[in-house]
Amino acid sequence: MGNFRNLVAIVTGGARGIGAATALKLAKGGAKVAIFDRNTETAEETLAKIKDAGSEGIALEVDVTNRQQIEKEMETVVDQWGKIDILVNNAGILKDSMIDNLSEEDWEQVIDVNLKGSFLCAQAAQKYMKKQNYGKIVMVSSQAAVGSLGRVNYSSAKAGVQGMTKALSMELGPFGINVNAVAPGFIDTDMSEVSRISAKMRGIDDFDEFKKSFIKNNPIQRVGRPEDVANVITFLASDEAEYVTGQVIYVSGRPVI
């Protein structure tokens, strides 16, 4: 599945977790992959795996809230590899808090990285994609878009990402660009460790019990793996999904309404 030979992909937040699994899967399909991350050192392991897979990868220091950095490093990618075919807007953060204690700063940071970052990267990438009349943009939303306790900021950002996906798909479809989103549920990454730390604040006293009960109540009977999400992202980034746009696919082992 997914022949990405001769294609160039950018994965934001690709140094770790879901982004790293996606970068590797794209590379295994033959894509050249640029990882845009705040910390390029953490991308080294993924870059080594990309090399082992016989493809090319680079890690570029980009904070997705910074328009200048995004534009500069997209130019670096185009200078090096000639084009941008695939953008995966994966970078995201959590700053959980119940509403009484949710600071304006934590509201802004979460909206900035998850929502504004997706907008800035999509805006910059689509300029290149339009010129070649080809592109795939995949956003990473979250099951939290339908509401998650202690996550007013994050739920708002991830619901916004879904709205952005649908609006952008209408604008960019005529230019050969598909825009879709995945919305993961509970996926085992460093971010789920952040959830562990913030669990008490969200009224969850015993995170391990919470995880056990989550597994028991999940139809697939396990938490998700980064590869579960990467599989769907790479499908949406492939030509096999050519007639799919403006869609949100939940990758959560359960139905989400």
Residues that bind ligand NDP (CB under 6 A): 12-13, 15-19, 37-39, 42, 62-65, 90-93, 113, 117, 140, 142, 184, 186-187, 189-192
DSSP 8-state secondary structure symbol assigned to residue 17:
H
- Rounded CA-CA distance 51/63 in Å is 24
DSSP string covering 78-116? HHHHS---EEEE-------B-GGG--HHHHHHHHIIIII
In sequence order, the 6+-apart residues with CB closer than 8 A to the CB of 127 are: none
Identity of the residue, 13 or 29, whose beta carbon is nearer to ligand NDP in the bound complex: 13
User: For the chain, where are the alpha helices, taking DSSP H only?
Assistant: 17-28, 44-52, 67-81, 104-111, 117-132, 152-172, 190-199, 207-217, 226-236
**Smallest gap from residue 246 Cβ to ligand NDP (A):** 19
Q: Is 154 a catalytic residue?
A: yes
**Smallest gap from residue 150 Cβ to ligand NDP (A):** 14
Residue type, 67: R
Decide if 49 contacts 38 (C-beta within 8 A).
no
**Smallest gap from residue 218 Cβ to ligand NDP (A):** 13
**Smallest gap from residue 94 Cβ to ligand NDP (A):** 7
- Rounded CA-CA distance 80/102 in Å is 43
Identity of the residue, 64 or 172, whose beta carbon is nearer to ligand NDP in the bound complex: 64
**Smallest gap from residue 140 Cβ to ligand NDP (A):** 4
- Rounded CA-CA distance 249/230 in Å is 12
Catalytic residue among 128, 134, 154, 250: 154
Residue type, 188: D
Instruction: Please list the active-site residues.
Output: 154
